[in-house]
Amino acid sequence: MKKKIDYVLSADEKALLKQQKVTLKMLQDYAPDEIAAMVQASADRARELSALAQFQSIPSLGIGFARELIAQGYYAPDDLKGRTAVELFDGFEKHCGCWADPCVEDSYRLLVHYVAHQDDSKRWWNFTAERKAYRAQHGFPADRPENAWYETGAFPKMGAHQSK
């Protein structure tokens, strides 16, 4: 597991964890129902916290990427089984309403690879050549958004693969 997970906890959630002597590192080992009880949160909030830990535990994927996956309705790597990186990336761009930096597509390729193989030796940049070859042969969908993420402000400034 990754050493530092960013949970974006409220002050109250942090205080409750501190009272129970549960560190952030320990939190990633709890099930969503246990998290809900510890931080007095709804089932949805606990599910989100669990998802943040699971997605950020994948090498070179950070908080921005994890939050975007949750925004698209994914809460665990298993939710992505059987999906292709192209399908997920193209869906992401439609969800955002803008086209994303190529490293984001590389991150989706890493994600799909990790889900299929549980291989933590790869990083997003290991998929750049694969992405370039695929896009050179197949291009992008005809209905790809026209504006770039940096023109719309729809996507965070930090890369999807980076953490704070």
164: buried, middle or exposed (CB in 10 Å: 19+, 13-18, 0-12)? exposed
Q: Quote the pLDDT of residue 40.
A: 95
Q: Report yes or no: 56 and 63 within 8 Å, Cβ to Cβ.
A: yes
Residue 57 pLDDT grade (very low, low, confident, very high; cuts 50, 70, 90)? very high
Domain boundaries, given as residue ranges, for the chain:
1-57, 76-164
Q: What angle do CA 88, 93, 94 make, to 5 degrees?
A: 95
Cβ neighbour number for residue 71 with a 10 Å cutoff: 11
For residue 10, the SS3 value is: coil
Q: Quote the pLDDT of residue 159.
A: 41
Q: What is the mean pLDDT of residues 54-70?
A: 93
How far apart, in whole angstroms, are the C-alpha atoms of residue 126 and residue 136? Answer: 17
**Which pTM does this prediction carry?**
0.85
